[in-house]
Structure 1
C-alpha cells in the first residue's frame, strides 16, 4: 500500500515549511571590514591628518632687541586652498587663505606703550614666469624674387628667340614663447599700525591670485612685526609652511 510513503512525504513538507522562515529571519552576515586607507587612518602614535586646506604652522619665532625688548610672532589656524580661477587660464593661480597672526612684546617698563606695525601677506613662487615676457608670439617672413630667362641663344643667331620672365616667392613662419626663470610674487594683505604690546591680524576667506605662472607653484604666509621708537626699529619676520600646488 502507498499510505506510509504518502504520510512521510507530507511530514517532510511540513518540516520544511517550519524551518524555512526561521532560517530567513536570521540577520545577514556582515562583510569583513576592510583595512583603512593609509591616507585616512593615522599610524599608531602619529597625529591625525589636518582637515582639507589646513596648514600646520611652524613654531613661534622670537628675538631680543639691543634695548632689552623681546619680540615674538606666531600663527595659528592657517588655511591655504587652491581654487579654480575665474579666468580659467592655465597660467593663473588663485588661492583662498586664512589664519590668525599674533605679535607679543615684553621689555623694560616705559612711560608709553610700545608701537609699531604688523604686516601680514603671502608669497607665491612660480617655476616659470610669463608675466614679464613677450608671451606667445607669431613671427613670419615673406618675399618676392623676380628673374628673367633667355631662350634660343646659339652661335648662328646671336639674338635670343624669347625672353621668359619669372617671379619666385618665399614664405616662412614661427611661433615663439617667451619664458623667464621663476619669480616670487609678494601679496600684502594687511599693514596694521598699532600701539600696545599684543597686536594681531586675522585673515579669513581671503582670495589672492597671480597671472603668468607656468608649471608648479608654491605658496606660504609671512608676517613682519616691527617695534618702532623715535631712534630705532626692531624687526622680526615669520614665514609659514610652504605648500606646493
Structure 2
C-alpha cells in the first residue's frame, strides 16, 4: 500500500512540475496566430489598405536599331520615363492633361568620314482617345414647333340640313431633342522637341513637361516616341522608337 501511495505522489509531483514549467511559456504570443476582432474577422492594416501612389514611372521599350545601306548603324533608346495624369485646368471631363518626362538618346556609328554625321532627333507623345468629340458638333439642341387650325360645326338635337354654328379650333405642337456628336477614336500627336544636331550622340531630356488635349471621352492611352534622322546629300535614314503604352 505504501508503494502505491508513493507512486501516486511521484505522478502528482511530475504533473505539478509540467504545469509549472508551461505557465510562463503560455503567456508569450504565438507568432503563427492572427489577431481577430470581436466579430471574428481579421482586422485590416490601415497602411496596407491605402493604394500605392502613382509616381508616374513607366518602363521604357527596348532600344530601336537600324543598319543603313551605307553601313551606318542608328540607335534610339530612352530611360527614366515618367507619364502621370493630372487634373486639367479646364476641369472638363473631355479634357486630358499629363505631366511627362524622360531622356531620349540617339547614337550613330559607321565608316570614317571627313564630316561628322548630322540630322534631327524629334521627341513627342501620342495620345489615343476611345471617343473623339474634338472634330464633331459636340452637344447640340434641336427643337421644332407648329400650329394646326381646324373648324368645327355645331349642331342641334333636331335633324336639319343647316348647321347652327361654326367653332374654330387651334392646336399646337412643340418638340425638342439633344444630340451628341461622337466619332470613333483618334490619335493625337504632340511634338515636344525637334533637335537639329551635328555629331554622333544626340539626346533630348524632358522633365515636368505638361501636355493637354481636348474632346477626349472615355479611356485614353499615352506613349512616347522619338524619331532619329541621319541626313546626307543623297539620303535620309529614319529610325522610330515608341515607348510602352500606358492606360490612363
> Is TM more than 0.5 here?
yes
Structure 1 residue aligned with 2:230: 227
Structure 2 residue aligned with 1:149: 152
- Determine the C-alpha separation between the residues in 1 that align with 2:226 and 2:159: 97
Q: For 1:218-242, what per-residue CA distance to the aligned partner results, in whole angstroms no more than 9, with x for missing partners?
A: 0000000000011100000000010
Q: For 1:127-186, what per-residue CA distance to the aligned partner results, in whole angstroms no more than 9, with x for missing partners?
A: 000000111111111100010111127986433211100101011111111100000000
Structure 2 residue 82 is matched with structure 1 residue 79: yes
Return structure 1 stretches of 4+ with deviation > 2 angstroms: 30-40, 153-159
Secondary structure of the 1:134 match is coil
Structure 2 residue aligned with 1:125: 128
Relative to 1, partners in 2 of residues 1:152 and 1:55: Cα closer, same or farther, differing over 3 Å? same
The answer on whether the counterparts of 2:88 and 2:97 sit within 8 Å (CA) in structure 1 is yes
- Determine the C-alpha separation between the residues in 2 that align with 1:109 and 1:217: 46
Structure 2 residue aligned with 1:167: 170
Structure 2 residue aligned with 1:9: none
Secondary structure of the 1:111 match is coil
Structure 2 residue aligned with 1:12: none
Aligned residues: 210
Structure 1 residue 59, shift from structure 2 partner: 1.2
The answer on whether the counterparts of 1:134 and 1:178 sit within 8 Å (CA) in structure 2 is yes
- Determine the C-alpha separation between the residues in 2 that align with 1:156 and 1:199: 105
The answer on whether the counterparts of 1:153 and 1:159 sit within 8 Å (CA) in structure 2 is no
Equivalent position to 1:184, from 187, 211, 224:
187
- Determine the C-alpha separation between the residues in 1 that align with 2:167 and 2:49: 82
Q: For 1:57-96, what per-residue CA distance to the aligned partner results, in whole angstroms no more than 9, with x for missing partners?
A: 1111111000110000000000001000000000100000
Structure 1 residue aligned with 2:69: 66
The answer on whether the counterparts of 1:128 and 1:180 sit within 8 Å (CA) in structure 2 is yes
- Determine the C-alpha separation between the residues in 2 that align with 1:204 and 1:134: 36
Structure 2 residue 107 is matched with structure 1 residue 108: no
- Determine the C-alpha separation between the residues in 2 that align with 1:239 and 1:120: 10
